[in-house]
A and B are shown apart, each in its own frame.
Chain A
Amino acid sequence: MPALDPADLAAAIAAAWKTIAGGHWSAVRDLAREDIAFVEKSAVHLADDLVHGRITQEQAALERDDMIESLRGLQDVLAVEGKILAQDLINSALGIIGGAVNRAVGFALF
């Protein structure tokens, strides 16, 4: 029967956490890069339409306010990313420990 080795478990958990954290980190990085770039591009199009008389000042002002309001909502996306990261880290550790315990006892206890 294989022994439960905390050092081996810790190493396995660390490796799993690296994969999980890396995946979530690239998502947060993309969120910052792509969405901020999108807002910049939108502002340029808005200004261009206004300058060329394709939209009114009133319409442009409403869209500017809406864009600011919409940016505030990014906190919900970041909150979900953070919660899922914590959830995935904990559950992966539980999975690894459960698997090690199962191997140690010789049957699927968890």
Chain B
Amino acid sequence: MNSRTLHRPAPAILALLCLALAGCAVQFVSRYDEFTDRALHDLHIRTNEFIARASATRATYAESVPFYEEAKATVRAIRTRAELQADNQNEINQLVALEDQFERLEAKHRLGPLRPSLAGSLELGFRKLIRIQLAKKRSVRLLRESSPSPAA
């Protein structure tokens, strides 16, 4: 047997081995949820379509109320699902912020016609949530790529 084998394992390896023996896979962030990802993607598309249309037609706030109500209801539904998952506080924070951003877009629209330049902060809100979904998705892929071959 090689002298570097089990007789004197490095302390870090030993600590990890203990965790493995205890059957612990750690989880600091909730798993990737395809429903959330798809729902956010759909809302993002609908929002961009609405902003382009409202800007082109100079739609009034009153004419646009149904869109705002539907968008906020969608965010609340996504948030409810996010709240049911453990270790998901950062995503929940951003969903709360997204609903606020829809309300603030309404406030800007009440003051006059909507322009895409007034929705940059809302777009940034979507980008943050999309990045969180991508990070969760990437975690699944990277872990698969870096995993060892199964036991012989």
Contacts and interface: CB of A to CB of B under 8 A. Distances in A.
Contacts of B8: 6
Given A58-B111, A92-B146, A48 B117 contact: yes
A19 B142 contact: yes
Interface residues of B, number: 64
Contacts of A90: 16, 19, 26
For chain B, what secondary structure do more than half of its interface residues adopt (helix, strand, loop), or is it mixed? Answer: helix
Contacts of B123: 38, 42
A46 B149 CA distance: 53
Contact of B10 (A6, A46, A55, A99): A6
Interface string B93-122: 110010001001001100111011110111
Interface residues of A, number: 69
A102 B151 contact: yes
B26 A87 contact: yes
B66 interface: no
Contacts of A94: 16, 19-20, 24-26
Contacts of A63: 108, 117-118, 120-121
B139 A84 contact: yes
Nearest to A58: B111
B44 interface: no
Interface string A89-103: 011111111111111
Contacts of A20: 142-143, 146
A30 B38 CA distance: 22
A47 to B, nearest CB: 9
Interface of B: 1-2, 4-6, 8-10, 12-13, 16-17, 19-20, 23-29, 87, 90-91, 93-94, 97, 101, 104, 107-108, 111-113, 115-118, 120-125, 127-128, 131-132, 134-136, 138-139, 141-143, 145-152
Given A31-B131, A86-B26, A110-B23, 6 more contacts: A35-B124, A62-B108, A70-B128, A71-B124, A83-B29, A95-B148
